Amino acid sequence: MTDTVARRLEEVRARIDRACREAGRDPAEVRLVAVSKAHPAQAVREALAAGQVDFGESYAQELRDKAAELGVGPSVGGTRTLPVWHFLGPLQRNKVRLVVGTAVLVHAVDSERLGRAIQDRSLPRRTPVLVEVNVGGEPTKHGVDPGSCLDLCRVLHGMPGLDLKGLMCIPPATDDPTRAARFFRLLADLAAEGRARGLPLESLSMGMSQDFEVAVACGATHVRVGTAIFGERS
Ligand SMILES: *Cc1c(COP(=O)(O)O)cnc(C)c1O
């Protein structure tokens, strides 16, 4: 198992490096978030031992439990490197307290109400956040509509308890990963438009096991990879 996680991690890192080279990008611009949701703490330990630092969780209680067991980076505890946690999932306002102070980045803020709940829990500090965009306009998906995205960003940027960093998306499911490219480009274009209007949208969280190389080619700064590192979730 240890060998498997270490080997898969190495393979994913090599694929990210190759995608960066092909796109003329510096691999240091792309952060690999290893998505450990539904995998045990032991899987996280194995990835840590293989040099992985950033981990993603999608359920607030699971994040709380794993953080209690494994610690919370980026500080170093003794000789151990502690995991740096990202929160990826939709977040209910009554679970915000389980995430603020633990996650270095909340990837899926999609409403002013949620933003306000995060800021109320954060003050006097600031929680780094991304705005999730429903790039495919799918009724069943979370995320703000592309047309309302920059207005929401403007409001969140005005909240002193939030540190707006960029945008995130999960494109419509497809069996052809190249089809995700137009959705990733839409997210990149929105961020560029926002930056032109003075919004701090430097980060682009996009790309999962199926399509992270396509996302890197389109400018991803964070790729969120679960299955390709930890195997299928049960
Ligand atoms: C589960 C999840 C991932 C990882 O998906 P894989 O296909 O296993 O790589 C990435 N992002 C989010 C938001 C997720 O919920």
Task: Measure the CA–CA gap between 129 and 65, rounded to whole angstroms.
Answer: 21
| Phi, psi dihedrals of residue 163, rounded to the nearest 5° | -125, 90
Q: Which residues, given as ranges, of the chain have pLDDT below 70?
A: 1-2, 75-79
Please tell me the distance between residue 225's alpha carbon and the centre of ligand 1 in angstroms. Answer: 6
Dihedral angle over CA of 66, 52, 175, 57, nearest 10 = 20
Please tell me the distance between residue 36's alpha carbon and the centre of ligand 1 in angstroms. Answer: 9
**Residues for the chain: how many in total?**
234
Of all atoms in ligand 1, which is nearest to the CA of residue 224? 10
The pLDDT of residue 177 is 87
The pLDDT of residue 3 is 72
The pLDDT of residue 81 is 83
Strands (E), the chain: 31-35, 54-57, 76-77, 80-81, 84-87, 103-109, 127-133, 162-169, 203-205, 222-225
| Phi, psi dihedrals of residue 42, rounded to the nearest 5° | -60, -35
Please tell me the distance between residue 194's alpha carbon and the centre of ligand 1 in angstroms. Answer: 26
pTM score of the predicted model? 0.96
CB burial class (10 A; 0-12, 13-18, 19+) of residue 126? Answer: middle
The pLDDT of residue 49 is 94
Please tell me the distance between residue 198's alpha carbon and the centre of ligand 1 in angstroms. Answer: 30
The pLDDT of residue 183 is 98
Nearest CA to ligand 1 atom 7: 209
Task: Measure the CA–CA gap between 58 and 51, rounded to whole angstroms.
Answer: 22
Of all atoms in ligand 1, which is nearest to the CA of residue 107? 13
